[in-house]
Amino acid sequence: MNLMSHILQRKLELPSPLTRDLVVQKDLRVPMPDGVELLADRWAPRGGGEGLPTALLRSPYGRSGMFAAAMARPLAERGYQVLIQSVRGGFGSGGTLDPMRQEREDGLATLDWVVEQPWFGDSMVLVGLSYLGFVQWAVADRLPPQVKAMIPHMTESALTLEFLRDDGMSLELPFEWGVMTAVQERRWAMLRSRGQARKTVRALRTLPLNQGDVAAIGRSSKYIQDILTYDAKHEYWAAVDHSHRVAGVNVPVSSIGGWYDIFLPGQLRDFQVLQDAARPARLTVGPWTHSEFTNAAVLEAVGFGLAHARGEQPPERPPVRLFVMGEEAWRNFDSWPPKGYEPQAFRLQPDGGLSTEPAIESAADTYRYDPADPTPAAGGISISSGGRVDNTELEDRPDVLTYTTATLTEDVEVIGEVSANIWFRSSLANADVFVRLCDVGPDGRSHNVCDGLTSLTGADTLSQTTVRLWPTAYRFKRGHRIRVQVSSGAFPRYARNTGTGEPLATATILRAADQAVYHDPQHPSAVILPVRAAGSGSP
């Protein structure tokens, strides 16, 4: 366990169990309106579960094993009875899994069934990570009065649409998820997981890409094909977009996110909707990737959820709690984005410089991007290898430009939305611009903070490109330096730009491009950081 894990473990320590003597009532049958039955397991303290608040988790990943040990058991030991339901089409539940498209109807029917059970008390809390958080949003505007709180973790109300952002299509995570759900019930799936992971990595390079699912799974995946076929604006995705339901939530919501989670922008958008609508909501964001298990959701379910389920007020804390990386400390704020942080332009300079001074006359910097040898992702928003990592090897590549400040003479604290304005031209009409913010320590090693990508058409004409990076909370310490990378990809985090303009699903030709980044007074490329304003106080 590394130092960060030790820190997080101390910060997220759970209260002691009330009991360890549990009983599991397996394979309860929950009828749906169309006659399909979904299976559920009920965890409760032996001899004393009836009437306790119910924690409801609806999952596509099964009801036992590591999942139950990580969520159901800790909650059942600390004051809940827990119902884990397998969603339609998985782990014994009837019907066919059509990811995210049936969760509103099935979720509402499940809520109606739970409140009629003889063991149900008078309160329920919705809990869960990722897909298990999305299903909460699917029913959020029609909750029965017995539901007292929601705790969505590493998720958002329009889950799949995050993969299809207009400014750059995600590839790795939706592809890996489609493969995982296709093979998770195969015999010895856990034992074969490493071999499957290697096969999936190879499949991401398949041309055409719409044959990659067969290369990884041995058959086609409807979910992967849907991701490759329909763009974000297509009406096909209307059924999985529940963002319009967020403002209609009438129970307290505690959202938990991670700075290196793919769903963070959408989760912050959902929180801002609740905040603007004056709904009772709070937000916690830690230095976590999507797949990094922490006790955060269980801690919130025990402290925040149980209090509301019992008609009590949870312990007081400001609405927003953020882990400020670099400082390596939790801080409290009143809102997102926090007040007291003002946008400041750090401009690209000649000879790899970066400063708040105006741009000066200089020639453009150039590099060649070849999709046959795509610029790799290094850390960041990734399931298998994300988070903060050493970027030294990545920055040694000839297809990555870097711009770095002088050594900082005082701390620079950045909290909020991050963006970049890059003046860019390509030899091809179709190209990507990837921008990454990094922290360079006194030892010279560069670690990624946040990043983003924009896909362009008409890139062969010089123009200013806006790149939205992931939001962050980071303190660049005195003695460190701030660095910006500019390149044209982060594979397989993003699908590689083939350079041809062909649809990604069917493209078979890879074309290299010569790229140019400008930073003169007429074309002042810059990264825009929300920096704590002078006089706003110290933590």
Pairing of strands 365-369, 513-518: antiparallel
Residue 537 is assigned to a structural domain of this protein:
no
Helix 222-229 / helix 172-183 crossing angle, nearest 10 deg: 160
**Within this chain, do residues 227 and 266 fall inside the same structural domain, yes or no?**
no
At 10 the pLDDT is 37
Listed residues 333, 351, 366: the one ending a domain: 333
DSSP state of 388: S
Write out the two tokens for 263: 């769903």
At 31 the pLDDT is 98
Domain boundaries, position 183: 159-236
Q: Where do we find the tokens 């500019």?
A: 486
CATH number where 385 lies:
2.60.120.260
**Within this chain, do residues 47 and 142 fall inside the same structural domain, yes or no?**
yes
Listed residues 305, 333, 361: the one ending a domain: 333
- How many Cβ atoms are within 10 Å of 419's Cβ, its own excluded? 16
**Within this chain, do residues 153 and 163 fall inside the same structural domain, yes or no?**
no
- How many Cβ atoms are within 10 Å of 397's Cβ, its own excluded? 15
At 194 the pLDDT is 87
244-299 pLDDT, tens digit per residue, is 999 999 999 999 999 999 999 999 999 999 999 999 999 999 999 998 878 899 99
pTM for the structure as a whole: 0.95
Residue 183 is assigned to a structural domain of this protein:
yes
How many Cα atoms sit within 13 Å of 338 on the Cβ side?
Answer: 28
Residue 538 is assigned to a structural domain of this protein:
no
Tell me how many domains the chain contains. 3
At 4 the pLDDT is 33
Residue 432 is assigned to a structural domain of this protein:
yes
Measured distance between the N- and C-terminal CA atoms of the chain, rounded to whole angstroms? 29
Residue 536 is assigned to a structural domain of this protein:
no
AA identity, residue 136: Q
Picking from 10, 44, 6, the residue whose alpha carbon sits closest to that of residue 26 is 44
At 384 the pLDDT is 72
Stretches where the chain sits below pLDDT 70 are 1-12, 534-539
Write out the two tokens for 88: 């339609």
Provide the Cα torsion 8, 11, 17, 18; round to 10°.
-160
**Within this chain, do residues 436 and 372 fall inside the same structural domain, yes or no?**
yes
8-58 pLDDT, tens digit per residue, is 433 467 889 989 999 999 999 999 999 999 999 999 999 878 999 999 999
Give the integer Cα–Cα distance in Å for 324 and 496: 32
DSSP state of 273: H
At 12 the pLDDT is 65
Give the integer Cα–Cα distance in Å for 259 and 288: 6
Residue 273 is assigned to a structural domain of this protein:
yes
Picking from 153, 469, 194, the residue whose alpha carbon sits closest to that of residue 304 is 153
